[in-house]
């Protein structure tokens, strides 16, 4: 039998069977790992149609976004893994949205002309020199400082301009419906007034003085009210741009040169509001121009011309408070900024079609003089120069502390500020005053937080305080710790008496106010209930939602518009109790203030247009069906 079995092994079909078995076991054993490795070998983090977002590009954008997010976290906090993932997700979603729009624009064969692109870039204030003109040198420097190539930057700007044109066409002419605008206008402009009376704590009936047993009982029942916080005696040294500022000379020549470099930032450009009609046909533009000028005086010509524009397949677009660079077409901007208020101008031939326009408001520009900003420039130059001093000194200070040098033995020529004293975790002394620590607030907070995390005898280490606009380092030691404790009854007896008396006054006024409100809710008139309570009612000023009025406590103003007319309420303020009843509700008619209604409707229309644009962008993204390679994303975020 064995011989027969051996002979069978030599046949081709038995050998084939065993080959299949071997291959099967190999696939079962290592197939999953192989497939997994093959599936993650690509370097992309997302695919959008025929485009891919490669890991290096995503990593660059992610690092920029993470750097910005890191600067915004409170001092002493570290960037968490969850925070990194949130930044990465926002960055990736933004890049997917941009890629989706780019793909759609390519499919539609849309493109911003090179002349429009060049004009937009040249108009960016960040690329202007001291004379206000475009500077190629400054252009190159700004791109280099942001790790951008010229081709990449121009591609990004062109994409944004083209995307804005597409979104502008989608949202052009969008208006909030009257059926929605009117209720919003009435809600915003509605005025309410209330009959109200006060029950101040200070006017409560006289309270008989308590005996000592009563005070001791109060003291025993409120132990948390009479405690001393933990105090720490600390020593600290601070090295900052402010601590070395006296060593930094600044000349008038340097200040004038700095002013010339930054002059563009001290100029507020003139802004104009205009009503614009855009159309592709010159004849239609001429027809609309004539129709606009023919609108009778005293009528709402914008409403009339919008209807005429719709009939001619033109776009009617209001532009509010825009500078020349913010108008969508350079030729249109030139006309707008040369026109007089109220005059209809056109037809104007631009890069994007034909325009008819009317300027409705002019906001003059302004310019700050050298003398007005001299101190600001001085502070900035001193901070810049001081930074060059602080960095090497910080390294030296770090080395000294690392070698065991105590704060008392540090050199006296390093521009250090030394402070010492006793404080609590809120930065207050035992006398309740703010401890005299140097500004900025971020430095104070970081120093105090560090001191309350250390133990007496811990070796000081150099810590950088993240302070906006200032470079600062500090090192701190803790000498002694006084644990929190309870003040004795004798120490706080006077305060206990005041607290007990105030509580009795509050209780009495609470009962009086509650009795009056109960009477009003039971059907008694507000005036009669006030007479019974011994208080005098008075009418508050009428206010709109969100409006502040000194005569109306904010606690009452917050709930006033949630009540019905004739409904009573009771609130507690820092001074006492207030009982009020809604006595006056005045709705405003949109026809009585057409300008205010039109402005609100314009704001709503812009919000609706923005919603349209957002919905469209979301639809474009969904249509592109992006596929995310989560493994590669995780490798960038948490390698």
**pLDDT of res. 509:** 95
**Residue 190 gets which letter from DSSP?**
-
State pTM to two decimals.
0.53
Token readout for 346 is 């056109």
pLDDT > 90: percent of the chain: 24
**pLDDT over 50 at 14, yes or no:** no
Contact predicate 71/587, CB 8 Å: no
Q: What are phi and psi of 602, to 5 degrees?
A: -65, -40
pLDDT in tens, 113-122: 888 888 888 8
CA distance 124 to 121: 5
Q: What is the mean pLDDT of residues 29-43?
A: 45
Whole-number Å distance between alpha carbons of 529 and 512 = 11
Q: Average pLDDT of the chain?
A: 83
Contacts of 440 (CB under 8 A, 6+ apart): 467, 468, 469, 470, 472
The CATH code for residues 191-226+488-586 is 3.10.50
Query: What topology is assigned to 270-364 in CATH?
Result: Chitinase A; domain 3 (3.10.50)
Residue 570 confidence (pLDDT) above 90: yes
Instruction: Calculate mean pLDDT across residues 513-540.
Output: 94
Element (H, E) at 576: strand 576-586
User: Which of these, 405, 381, 414, 68, lies nearest to 240 by C-alpha position?
Assistant: 414
- Tens-place pLDDT, residues 355-400: 989 888 898 888 888 888 888 888 778 777 777 888 888 888 888 9
Q: How high is the pLDDT of residue 10? A: 53
CB 359 within 8 A of CB 350: no
Q: What's the mean pLDDT in 17-30? A: 44
pLDDT at res. 1:
38
Dump pLDDT digits (tens) for 138-178.
787 777 766 678 888 888 888 888 888 777 777 777 788 88
Rounded (5°) CA angle 28-31-37: 160
Question: 417: part of which helix (H) or strand (E)?
Answer: strand 417-423
Q: Can you tell me the mean pLDDT for 615-634?
A: 85
Contact 164, 317 (CB under 8 A): no
pLDDT of residue 39: 41
End-to-end distance of the chain based on CA atoms, in angstroms?
61
Report, as an integer, the average pLDDT of 514-540: 94
Domain 45-173+619-637, CATH among 1.10.530.10, 3.40.50.12780, 1.20.1330.10, 1.10.4030.10: 1.10.4030.10
Rounded to a whole number of angstroms, the CA Rg of the chain reads 36
Strands (DSSP E) along 55-190, which ranges? none
The H helix count followed by the E strand count for the chain is: 20, 19
CB 586 within 8 A of CB 542: yes
Q: Which residues contact 595 (CB under 8 A, 6 or more apart)?
A: none
What are residue 576's DSSP bridge partners? 200
As a whole number of angstroms, the distance between CA 335 and CA 348 comes to 8
The yes-or-no verdict on residue 615 having pLDDT over 90 is no
Q: What angle do CA 377, 380, 383 make, to 5 degrees?
A: 150
d(CA 368, CA 298) in angstroms, rounded, equals 40
Work out the average pLDDT over 468-493: 87
What per-residue confidence (pLDDT) applies to 25?
43
Mean pLDDT of 70-75: 66
């Amino acid at each position: 039998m064995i011989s027969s079995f051996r002979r069978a092994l030599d046949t081709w079909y038995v050998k084939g069977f065993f080959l299949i078995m071997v291959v099967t076991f190999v696939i079962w054993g290592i197939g999953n790992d192989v497939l997994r490795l093959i599936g993650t070998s690509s370097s992309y983090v997302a695919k959008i149609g025929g485009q891919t977002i490669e890991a290096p590009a995503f990593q660059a954008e992610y690092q920029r976004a993470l750097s910005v997010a890191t600067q915004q976290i409170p001092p002493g906090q570290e960037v968490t893994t969850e925070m990194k993932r949130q930044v990465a997700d926002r960055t990736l979603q933004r890049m997917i949205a941009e890629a989706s729009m780019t793909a759609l624009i390519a499919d539609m064969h849309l493109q911003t002309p090179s002349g429009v692109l060049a004009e937009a870039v040249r108009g960016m204030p960040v690329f202007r020199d001291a004379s206000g003109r475009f500077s190629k040198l400054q252009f190159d420097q700004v791109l280099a400082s942001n790790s951008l190539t010229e081709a990449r930057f121009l591609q990004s700007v062109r994409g944004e301009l083209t995307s804005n044109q597409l979104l502008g066409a989608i949202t052009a002419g969008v208006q909030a419906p009257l059926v929605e605008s009117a209720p919003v206008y009435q809600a915003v402009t509605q005025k309410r007034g209330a009959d109200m009376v006060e029950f101040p704590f200070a006017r409560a009936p006289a309270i008989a003085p308590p005996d000592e047993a009563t005070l001791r009982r109060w003291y025993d029942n409120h132990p948390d009210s009479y405690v001393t916080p933990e105090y720490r005696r600390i020593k600290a040294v601070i090295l900052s741009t402010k601590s070395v500022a006296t060593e930094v000379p600044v000349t008038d020549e340097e200040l004038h040169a700095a002013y010339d470099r930054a002059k563009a930032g001290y100029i507020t450009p003139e802004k104009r509001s205009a009503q614009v009609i855009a159309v592709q046909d010159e004849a239609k533009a001429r027809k609309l121009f004539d129709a606009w000028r023919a609108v009778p005086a005293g009528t709402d010509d914008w409403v009339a011309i919008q209807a005429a524009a719709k009939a001619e397949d033109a776009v009617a677009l209001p532009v509010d408070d825009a500078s020349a660079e913010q108008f969508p077409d350079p030729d249109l901007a030139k006309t707008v900024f040369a026109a007089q208020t109220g005059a209809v101008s056109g037809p104007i031939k631009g890069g994007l079609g034909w325009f008819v326009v009317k300027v409705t408001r002019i906001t003059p520009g302004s310019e700050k003089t050298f003398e007005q900003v001299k101190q600001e420039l001085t502070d900035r130059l001193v901070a810049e120069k001081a930074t060059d001093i602080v960095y090497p000194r910080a390294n030296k200070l770090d080395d000294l502390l690392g070698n065991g040098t105590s704060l008392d033995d540090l050199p006296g020529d390093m521009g250090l500020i030394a402070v010492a004293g006793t404080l609590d975790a809120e930065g207050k002394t035992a006398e309740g005053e703010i401890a005299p620590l140097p500004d900025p607030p971020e430095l104070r907070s970081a120093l105090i937080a560090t001191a309350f995390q250390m133990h007496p005898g811990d070796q000081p280490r150099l810590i950088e305080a993240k302070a906006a606009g200032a470079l600062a380092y500090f090192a701190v030691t803790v000498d002694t710790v006084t644990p929190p404790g309870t003040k004795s009854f004798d120490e706080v007896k006077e305060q206990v008496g005041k607290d007990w008396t105030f509580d009795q006054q509050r209780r009495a006024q609470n009962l009086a106010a509650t009795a009056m409100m109960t009477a009003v809710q039971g059907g008694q008139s507000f005036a009669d209930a006030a007479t019974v309570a011994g208080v005098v009612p008075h009418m508050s000023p009428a206010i709109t939602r969100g409006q502040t009025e000194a005569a109306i406590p904010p606690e009452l103003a917050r709930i006033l518009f949630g009540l019905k007319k004739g409904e009573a309420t009771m609130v507690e303020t820092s001074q006492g109790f207030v009982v009020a009843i809604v006595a006056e509700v005045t709705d405003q008619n949109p026809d009585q203030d057409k300008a205010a209604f039109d402005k609100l409707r314009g704001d709503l229309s812009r919000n609706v247009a923005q919603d349209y644009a957002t919905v469209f962008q979301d639809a474009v993204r969904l249509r592109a069906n992006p596929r995310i390679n989560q493994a590669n994303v995780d490798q960038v975020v948490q390698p």
